[in-house]
Amino acid sequence: MRNFNKKKALKRAEELVKQRRYAEAITEFKAIIQADPEEYNLWVRIADLYVKLNDNGEAIRAYIAAAVRHEAHGLYPESVNLLRHALKINRAPEMVTIFLKLAGLYQKIGLPKEAIAELRIAIDMHERNGHHDSCVPLLEEVLKLDPEILSSRVKLAEAYFKIGKKFESETEIENIAKRLRLERRVSDLIVLYKRYLSMNPGYTKGAMEYAELTNKVGGESKEEAKEVNRADEIRRLDRLIKAEKNKKMPLEPFSTPGVSSEDLRLLDEASARLDEANKAIKDFLKKIRQ
């Protein structure tokens, strides 16, 4: 720009700020940047002035402009701070691009955990808006940074399915299931299949394994219930026999009319096996308390 005196323009802009003529000051600062792009720091001043004018939209755009130029000059921490300023003004869903920019900056700085945190925020925003196609590349990026995050793998499988990539979705689930089997995390495997099958009931392989796992767990529960009932019956017999020996209470069978000699014989046999029954009780109780 010909005959442009940057020093005078800066002085004039600062005078306008002192006079609280913020809109005019912004115009002066923008003219300076246009004349000399290296004065990118003035975008921060411009953003601050827009905040004073309660023009949040323009303030955010100015902070982003400042962050982009700082990043271009390798000033990554400064760029992060500027984007954080923008988010203080507004964290609405349309701000998802800022979280993506932050994730990229954190990767450049060498902070993968912070990058993942920002990516997850962006993913959640896209999910709430039903933009599952936008979630896929972000989830893939998260898994590049940390392949061990199973929750992100599950989300990726679900996102694949929602955008019609059934093969990729089921392949991802099979990979997760394989890892859970190796780590013997049966309950987590059941939860995984239950969650995924509610979305994709046609996943035959998972449905078969889910049925097998739930039947196995259910079968074990039934056997344990039978053992509890057996233990309860042994305790009842034990109480009856002791009561008869101590004569402190009548035996329940004897208080019932029609008790036969066969009933008495069975009770005698139960008494003879009392020591064995007591041992069985102790072993069983020890087992269920472990």
pLDDT tens readout for residues 10-33: 999 999 999 999 999 999 999 999
Which pLDDT score is estimated for 214?
84
Rounded to a whole number of angstroms, the CA Rg of the chain reads 37
Both tokens assigned to 114: 């912070």
Single-letter residue type at 224 = E
Please say whether the beta carbons of 30 and 65 come within 8 A. no
Annotate 74-105 with DSSP letters as a single string.
T-HHHHHHHHHHHHHH---GGGHHHHHHHHHH
* Measured distance CA(197)–CA(57) in Å, rounded: 44
* Measured distance CA(72)–CA(52) in Å, rounded: 27
User: What's the pLDDT band for 253 if we cut at 50, 70, 90?
Assistant: very low
Mean pLDDT of 110-129: 94
pTM for the structure as a whole: 0.66
User: What's the pLDDT band for 225 if we cut at 50, 70, 90?
Assistant: very low
Please say whether the beta carbons of 245 and 232 come within 8 A. no
CA angle 226, 219, 276 (to 5 degrees): 30
* Measured distance CA(72)–CA(49) in Å, rounded: 23
Whether pLDDT at 4 is above 50: yes
Whether pLDDT at 63 is above 90: yes
Helix or strand or coil: residue 281? helix
pLDDT tens readout for residues 130-139: 999 999 999 9
Single-letter residue type at 51 = V
